[in-house]
Amino acid sequence: MTKIVGILGGGQLARMLALSGAPLGLRFLVLDNTADACAGQFVPMVVGDYRDENALAEFASKVDVATFDFENVPSESAQWLAERIPVFPSPRALSIAQDRLAEKSLFRELGISVAPFADIASLDGLQKAIEQIGMPCILKTRRLGYDGKGQFRIKTVDDVQSAWHALGAQAEKVGLILEGFVAFQREISVVAVRGRDGEFRAWPLTENWHENGVLSASLAPATDCDNLQETALAYAKRVAESLDYVGVFALELFLKDGELFANEMAPRVHNSGHWTIEGAETSQFENHLRAVLGLPLGSTAAIGTSCMLNWIGEMPSAMPVLSNAHGHWHDYGKLPREGRKVGHATLRADSHAELFEALRQVGSDLNRKAQVEAPISRLKL
């Protein structure tokens, strides 16, 4: 019988989950609080607040299993659903990943290196923590921050008051955490999946570049990472097993002087895994669905090398990518808005030389040389 997968959140991740689930014969239902959520362009929706029990009840009555397209679904709502239908990842895993303090504490317990951190409840506490952790450091909201939002960098003592002015009011609402600044050379992510039966697979490591805290480009498999692969995958596996995690997740890591430090985990399919649609044997979206439905997982092997470029704010012209033999286009069907992720492109090629040429061409045609510069610099010709 056709299974209906319910997705809390109707953004581009839900949209790409639905696209990848169609060949599996799946149907979908999205719950979102805005009627124009982009997955709703071809997935039936329940429009309602995530805390509204009537909306949750209608959603639960129509789906066989529920999952998430964003991590900030209230954990009580996830719990409410889990008492009625299967929900993956579990509300417990979700609530730990929603809280930077809880997830960093878990990483440390699991023997995974992290930057020094402290829970901050007051200006006095912030000053004391800075004495211990040192500067530069970053004050972040514990919850509800994403894409660099809800963060303040403290470089000198003069920044402390401004940091408190900017974020102090959040201490009671969502909590604050102070983190030591990791002067990393590279940012790497592991996108991994764990099935209902505990089977674990990870895609090759991805290298990521951010612009104003938002992902700008990803290259996979990350170059010169063979010696890190084992540690990074072991970290991801440890996290997944400790949470009895089911589904896809991403572990974001900083690489500094050969050592990996965990920054955060995203309990869902992740932007740094979008390249897997064209660049891997099985995409993160398909494997997430397989995992939550209890189906066998597909191979996570890469096919050649891929570079994903994010389109932020508005879509550029599609022609340079579409007319490139290695180009793949993803328009999320969203209205343009500053800072919004509206689409991405993936260039996939069998050799570094081919990918280099494709990136150079697309970067030049779109007048986005700066965006392709870093990934290009990694390609060995």
Judged by the rule CB under 6 A, the positions of this chain that interact with ligand AMP are 115, 138, 145, 148, 179, 181-182, 187, 210, 213, 252, 263-264
Which of the 8 DSSP states describes residue 183? -
Residue 187 CB, shortest distance to ligand AMP, in Å, is: 6
Q: Token pair of 190, please?
A: 């592991």
8 A C-beta contact, residue 8 and residue 16: no
Residue 373 CB, shortest distance to ligand AMP, in Å, is: 17
Choose between 26 and 308: whose C-beta lies nearer to ligand AMP.
Answer: 308
What distance in Å separates the CA atoms of residue 164 and residue 127, rounded to the nearest whole number? 10
Residue 355 CB, shortest distance to ligand AMP, in Å, is: 23
Residue 136 CB, shortest distance to ligand AMP, in Å, is: 8
What distance in Å separates the CA atoms of residue 364 and residue 278, rounded to the nearest whole number? 23
What distance in Å separates the CA atoms of residue 126 and residue 129, rounded to the nearest whole number? 5
Contacts of 173 (CB under 8 A, 6+ apart): none
Choose between 52 and 147: whose C-beta lies nearer to ligand AMP.
Answer: 147
Choose between 46 and 138: whose C-beta lies nearer to ligand AMP.
Answer: 138
Choose between 186 and 330: whose C-beta lies nearer to ligand AMP.
Answer: 186
What distance in Å separates the CA atoms of residue 59 and residue 18, rounded to the nearest whole number? 16
Residue 131 CB, shortest distance to ligand AMP, in Å, is: 18
Choose between 137 and 321: whose C-beta lies nearer to ligand AMP.
Answer: 137
Residue 132 CB, shortest distance to ligand AMP, in Å, is: 15
Residue 191 CB, shortest distance to ligand AMP, in Å, is: 15
Ordered alpha helix ranges (H), the chain: 12-21, 53-62, 75-82, 91-97, 100-109, 123-133, 158-167, 170-173, 226-242, 276-279, 284-293, 319-322, 352-365, 369-378
DSSP calls for 265-328: EESS--GGGTTHHHHBSS-HHHHHHHHHHTPPPPP--B-SEEEEEEEESS---SHHHHTSTTEE
Residue 294 CB, shortest distance to ligand AMP, in Å, is: 31
Choose between 135 and 225: whose C-beta lies nearer to ligand AMP.
Answer: 135
Choose between 108 and 360: whose C-beta lies nearer to ligand AMP.
Answer: 108
Choose between 184 and 200: whose C-beta lies nearer to ligand AMP.
Answer: 184
Torsion of CA 60, 62, 68, 73, to 10 degrees: -40
Q: Which residue is nearest to ligand AMP (CB)?
A: 182
Long-range contacts of 115-119 (CB under 8 A, 24+ apart): 115/179, 115/180, 115/181, 115/182, 115/254, 115/261, 115/263, 116/179, 116/180, 117/177, 117/178, 117/179, 117/180, 118/177, 118/178, 119/175, 119/176, 119/177
8 A C-beta contact, residue 107 and residue 114: yes
Residue 277 CB, shortest distance to ligand AMP, in Å, is: 22
Choose between 143 and 378: whose C-beta lies nearer to ligand AMP.
Answer: 143
